[in-house]
Protein backbone atom coordinates (compact mmCIF):
# COMPACT_ATOMS: atom_id res chain seq x y z
CA UNK A 1 0.00 0.00 0.00
CA UNK A 2 1.37 3.37 -1.00
CA UNK A 3 1.09 6.26 1.38
CA UNK A 4 1.33 9.88 0.41
CA UNK A 5 1.88 13.08 2.34
CA UNK A 6 0.70 16.41 0.99
CA UNK A 7 2.33 19.69 2.07
CA UNK A 8 1.11 23.15 1.05
CA UNK A 9 3.75 25.87 0.75
CA UNK A 10 3.37 29.41 -0.60
CA UNK A 11 3.00 29.20 -4.36
CA UNK A 12 3.23 25.36 -4.56
CA UNK A 13 2.37 22.08 -2.93
CA UNK A 14 4.59 19.02 -2.41
CA UNK A 15 3.84 15.30 -2.51
CA UNK A 16 6.08 12.94 -0.49
CA UNK A 17 6.28 9.13 -0.51
CA UNK A 18 8.41 6.91 1.79
CA UNK A 19 10.47 5.52 -1.14
CA UNK A 20 11.17 8.85 -2.83
CA UNK A 21 14.43 10.71 -2.25
CA UNK A 22 12.64 14.02 -1.92
CA UNK A 23 9.29 15.64 -2.40
CA UNK A 24 7.80 16.22 -5.80
CA UNK A 25 6.80 19.87 -6.01
CA UNK A 26 4.01 21.24 -8.20
CA UNK A 27 3.60 24.99 -8.76
CA UNK A 28 0.21 26.46 -7.91
CA UNK A 29 -0.32 28.45 -11.05
CA UNK A 30 -4.11 28.73 -10.63
CA UNK A 31 -5.83 30.95 -8.15
CA UNK A 32 -9.43 32.00 -7.62
CA UNK A 33 -10.23 35.69 -7.63
CA UNK A 34 -13.56 36.42 -5.96
CA UNK A 35 -14.27 39.38 -8.21
CA UNK A 36 -13.88 37.21 -11.29
CA UNK A 37 -16.42 34.56 -10.36
CA UNK A 38 -19.33 34.65 -12.80
CA UNK A 39 -22.76 34.90 -11.18
CA UNK A 40 -25.12 31.97 -11.53
CA UNK A 41 -27.62 32.32 -14.36
CA UNK A 42 -31.14 33.28 -13.30
CA UNK A 43 -33.67 30.52 -12.85
CA UNK A 44 -36.15 30.63 -15.71
CA UNK A 45 -39.27 28.45 -15.43
CA UNK A 46 -39.69 26.05 -18.34
CA UNK A 47 -42.26 27.03 -20.92
CA UNK A 48 -45.62 25.25 -20.81
CA UNK A 49 -45.87 22.06 -22.78
CA UNK A 50 -47.46 22.54 -26.21
CA UNK A 51 -51.04 21.40 -26.02
CA UNK A 52 -50.87 20.85 -22.28
CA UNK A 53 -53.69 21.82 -19.90
CA UNK A 54 -53.75 25.43 -18.70
CA UNK A 55 -52.57 26.11 -15.16
CA UNK A 56 -55.26 26.57 -12.53
CA UNK A 57 -56.14 30.22 -12.04
CA UNK A 58 -56.19 29.73 -8.27
CA UNK A 59 -54.01 27.09 -6.65
CA UNK A 60 -56.47 26.76 -3.77
CA UNK A 61 -59.09 25.37 -6.16
CA UNK A 62 -57.39 21.97 -6.04
CA UNK A 63 -57.68 21.88 -2.23
CA UNK A 64 -61.39 22.70 -2.51
CA UNK A 65 -61.89 19.77 -4.87
CA UNK A 66 -60.00 17.49 -2.50
CA UNK A 67 -62.25 18.64 0.36
CA UNK A 68 -65.40 17.86 -1.63
CA UNK A 69 -64.02 14.46 -2.60
CA UNK A 70 -63.70 13.63 1.10
CA UNK A 71 -67.45 14.30 1.54
CA UNK A 72 -68.63 11.82 -1.09
CA UNK A 73 -70.83 8.99 0.18
CA UNK A 74 -73.92 8.43 2.34
CA UNK A 75 -74.35 10.19 5.70
CA UNK A 76 -76.84 9.93 8.56
CA UNK A 77 -77.59 13.50 9.59
CA UNK A 78 -78.89 13.98 13.15
CA UNK A 79 -80.23 17.51 13.07
CA UNK A 80 -81.39 19.94 15.71
CA UNK A 81 -83.44 22.90 14.47
CA UNK A 82 -83.72 25.93 16.73
CA UNK A 83 -86.80 27.68 15.32
CA UNK A 84 -87.14 30.03 18.28
CA UNK A 85 -86.03 30.23 21.87
CA UNK A 86 -88.86 27.90 22.89
CA UNK A 87 -89.19 25.63 19.81
CA UNK A 88 -86.48 23.04 19.25
CA UNK A 89 -87.00 20.13 16.84
CA UNK A 90 -84.80 17.06 16.25
CA UNK A 91 -84.91 15.26 12.92
CA UNK A 92 -82.85 12.38 11.51
CA UNK A 93 -82.10 12.68 7.79
CA UNK A 94 -80.04 10.80 5.21
CA UNK A 95 -77.75 12.73 2.89
CA UNK A 96 -75.93 11.43 -0.17
CA UNK A 97 -73.13 13.34 -1.92
CA UNK A 98 -72.14 12.21 -5.43
CA UNK A 99 -69.75 13.47 -8.10
CA UNK A 100 -70.23 13.71 -11.86
CA UNK A 101 -67.45 12.12 -13.88
CA UNK A 102 -67.27 14.87 -16.52
CA UNK A 103 -68.74 18.23 -15.45
CA UNK A 104 -70.11 20.35 -18.29
CA UNK A 105 -69.20 23.50 -16.37
CA UNK A 106 -66.76 24.54 -13.67
CA UNK A 107 -63.95 22.55 -12.07
CA UNK A 108 -66.09 19.75 -10.60
CA UNK A 109 -69.82 18.92 -10.37
CA UNK A 110 -71.80 17.22 -7.61
CA UNK A 111 -75.29 16.04 -6.68
CA UNK A 112 -76.71 16.38 -3.16
CA UNK A 113 -79.77 14.29 -2.23
CA UNK A 114 -81.58 14.20 1.12
CA UNK A 115 -84.62 12.47 2.64
CA UNK A 116 -85.90 11.67 6.16
CA UNK A 117 -84.67 8.47 7.78
CA UNK A 118 -88.09 8.06 9.45
CA UNK A 119 -91.47 9.74 9.10
CA UNK A 120 -91.65 12.99 10.99
CA UNK A 121 -94.52 15.48 11.26
CA UNK A 122 -92.03 18.37 11.32
CA UNK A 123 -92.29 18.77 7.54
CA UNK A 124 -96.08 18.71 7.70
CA UNK A 125 -96.05 21.49 10.30
CA UNK A 126 -93.35 23.44 8.47
CA UNK A 127 -94.06 23.11 4.74
CA UNK A 128 -91.43 25.76 3.89
CA UNK A 129 -88.76 23.21 4.76
CA UNK A 130 -88.41 20.52 2.06
CA UNK A 131 -88.91 16.95 3.26
CA UNK A 132 -86.69 15.54 0.53
CA UNK A 133 -85.03 16.67 -2.65
CA UNK A 134 -81.84 16.89 -4.67
CA UNK A 135 -79.75 19.58 -6.29
CA UNK A 136 -76.84 19.70 -8.69
CA UNK A 137 -73.94 22.05 -8.10
CA UNK A 138 -70.55 22.80 -9.55
CA UNK A 139 -67.38 24.47 -8.34
CA UNK A 140 -66.32 27.61 -10.16
CA UNK A 141 -63.25 29.04 -8.48
CA UNK A 142 -64.33 29.95 -4.95
CA UNK A 143 -68.04 29.66 -5.69
CA UNK A 144 -70.43 26.73 -5.43
CA UNK A 145 -73.18 27.28 -8.01
CA UNK A 146 -76.38 25.34 -7.31
CA UNK A 147 -79.26 24.35 -9.57
CA UNK A 148 -81.68 25.36 -6.82
CA UNK A 149 -81.71 26.78 -3.32
CA UNK A 150 -82.83 25.14 -0.12
CA UNK A 151 -85.82 27.40 0.47
CA UNK A 152 -86.75 28.02 -3.18
CA UNK A 153 -86.35 26.47 -6.62
CA UNK A 154 -84.28 29.29 -8.11
CA UNK A 155 -80.54 28.80 -8.84
CA UNK A 156 -78.10 30.37 -6.41
CA UNK A 157 -74.40 30.54 -5.66
CA UNK A 158 -72.37 30.43 -2.45
CA UNK A 159 -69.07 32.11 -1.74
CA UNK A 160 -66.57 29.67 -0.22
CA UNK A 161 -63.98 30.44 2.42
CA UNK A 162 -61.54 27.75 3.52
CA UNK A 163 -60.72 27.81 7.24
CA UNK A 164 -58.21 24.94 7.05
CA UNK A 165 -57.89 21.59 5.30
CA UNK A 166 -60.91 20.21 7.19
CA UNK A 167 -63.44 23.08 7.25
CA UNK A 168 -65.22 25.27 4.71
CA UNK A 169 -67.63 28.17 5.22
CA UNK A 170 -70.39 28.89 2.67
CA UNK A 171 -72.11 32.26 2.41
CA UNK A 172 -75.30 32.45 0.32
CA UNK A 173 -77.66 35.28 -0.64
CA UNK A 174 -80.88 34.75 -2.58
CA UNK A 175 -84.26 36.46 -2.53
CA UNK A 176 -84.58 37.79 1.02
CA UNK A 177 -82.45 35.03 2.61
CA UNK A 178 -78.88 35.19 3.90
CA UNK A 179 -77.42 31.81 4.94
CA UNK A 180 -74.09 31.06 6.60
CA UNK A 181 -73.00 27.41 6.78
CA UNK A 182 -69.93 25.86 8.45
CA UNK A 183 -68.98 22.25 7.58
CA UNK A 184 -66.07 20.48 9.26
CA UNK A 185 -64.78 16.95 8.66
CA UNK A 186 -63.80 15.19 11.89
CA UNK A 187 -61.90 12.05 12.93
CA UNK A 188 -60.43 11.06 9.57
CA UNK A 189 -63.66 11.96 7.75
CA UNK A 190 -65.85 9.56 9.76
CA UNK A 191 -68.00 12.46 10.96
CA UNK A 192 -69.13 15.88 9.79
CA UNK A 193 -70.12 18.79 12.01
CA UNK A 194 -72.40 21.39 10.43
CA UNK A 195 -73.71 24.67 11.81
CA UNK A 196 -76.17 26.67 9.69
CA UNK A 197 -77.67 30.09 10.39
CA UNK A 198 -80.46 31.50 8.21
CA UNK A 199 -81.57 35.15 8.24
CA UNK A 200 -84.64 36.45 6.44
CA UNK A 201 -85.04 40.19 5.96
CA UNK A 202 -82.23 40.67 8.47
CA UNK A 203 -83.88 38.60 11.24
CA UNK A 204 -82.51 35.23 12.32
CA UNK A 205 -85.16 32.65 11.42
CA UNK A 206 -83.40 29.33 11.92
CA UNK A 207 -80.29 27.89 13.57
CA UNK A 208 -79.22 24.31 12.90
CA UNK A 209 -76.70 21.87 14.34
CA UNK A 210 -76.05 18.69 12.34
CA UNK A 211 -74.03 15.74 13.62
CA UNK A 212 -73.41 13.53 10.60
CA UNK A 213 -72.08 9.96 10.58
CA UNK A 214 -70.67 8.31 7.49
CA UNK A 215 -72.62 5.21 6.48
CA UNK A 216 -71.13 4.47 3.05
CA UNK A 217 -68.00 5.46 1.18
CA UNK A 218 -68.07 7.19 -2.19
CA UNK A 219 -69.80 5.34 -5.00
CA UNK A 220 -69.09 5.38 -8.72
CA UNK A 221 -69.15 8.83 -10.35
CA UNK A 222 -72.32 9.83 -12.16
CA UNK A 223 -72.16 9.97 -15.95
CA UNK A 224 -72.96 13.35 -17.50
CA UNK A 225 -75.15 16.20 -16.34
CA UNK A 226 -78.91 15.37 -16.01
CA UNK A 227 -80.82 16.30 -19.14
CA UNK A 228 -83.93 17.26 -17.18
CA UNK A 229 -82.20 20.12 -15.37
CA UNK A 230 -79.78 22.48 -17.12
CA UNK A 231 -76.52 23.35 -15.46
CA UNK A 232 -76.83 26.45 -13.24
CA UNK A 233 -75.28 29.75 -14.21
CA UNK A 234 -72.75 31.30 -11.85
CA UNK A 235 -73.80 34.51 -10.11
CA UNK A 236 -70.63 36.56 -10.20
CA UNK A 237 -70.23 39.12 -7.41
Q: For residue range 89-99, what is the model confidence (pLDDT) as tens digits?
A: 999 999 999 99
SS3 207: strand
How do 24-27 and 12-16 pair as beta strands? Answer: antiparallel
- Residue 181, domain member (yes or no): yes
Name the strands in the sheet holding 24-27, side by side, starting at the edge strand that comes first in the sequence: 5-9, 12-16, 24-27
Domain holding 165, by residue range, is 73-216
CATH of the domain at 203: 2.40.128.20
Give the predicted TM-score (pTM) of the model: 0.69
Alpha carbons 139 and 54: distance in angstroms, whole number:
17
pLDDT score for 13: 52
206, part of any domain: yes
- Residue 22 has phi, psi (to 5 degrees) of -160, 170
Angstrom distance (rounded) from CA 113 to CA 204: 26
Number of separate domains in the chain:
1
Query: Contact 89/122 with Cβ under 8 angstroms?
Result: yes
Q: How much is the pLDDT for 46?
A: 38
Beta bridge partners of 116: 93
| Rounded Cα gap, residues 180 and 15, in angstroms | 80
Asked if residue 174 belongs to a domain, the reply is yes
Nearest to 215 by CA among 127, 97, 43, 55: 97
What is the pLDDT at residue 169? 98
Asked if the model's pLDDT at residue 67 lies above 90, the reply is: yes
Residue 62 lies in a domain: no
Whether residue 48 is predicted with pLDDT greater than 70 in this model: the reply is no
**DSSP letter assigned to residue 100:** B
The answer to whether position 182 is within a domain reads yes
Instruction: Report percent pLDDT > 90 for the chain.
Output: 50
pLDDT at residue 36 is higher than 50: no
**In-domain check, residue 51:** no
Least reliable range by pLDDT among 8-12, 123-127, 178-182:
8-12
Return the pLDDT at 19.
55
Amino acid sequence: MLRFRYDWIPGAFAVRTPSADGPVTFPMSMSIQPDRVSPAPPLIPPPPRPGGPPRSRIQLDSSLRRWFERNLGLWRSRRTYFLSEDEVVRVDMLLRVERFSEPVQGDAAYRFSWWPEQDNDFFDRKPDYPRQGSMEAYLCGHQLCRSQSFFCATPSSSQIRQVDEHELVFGSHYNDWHILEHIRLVDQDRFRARSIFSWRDGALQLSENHHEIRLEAAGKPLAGWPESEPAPTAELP
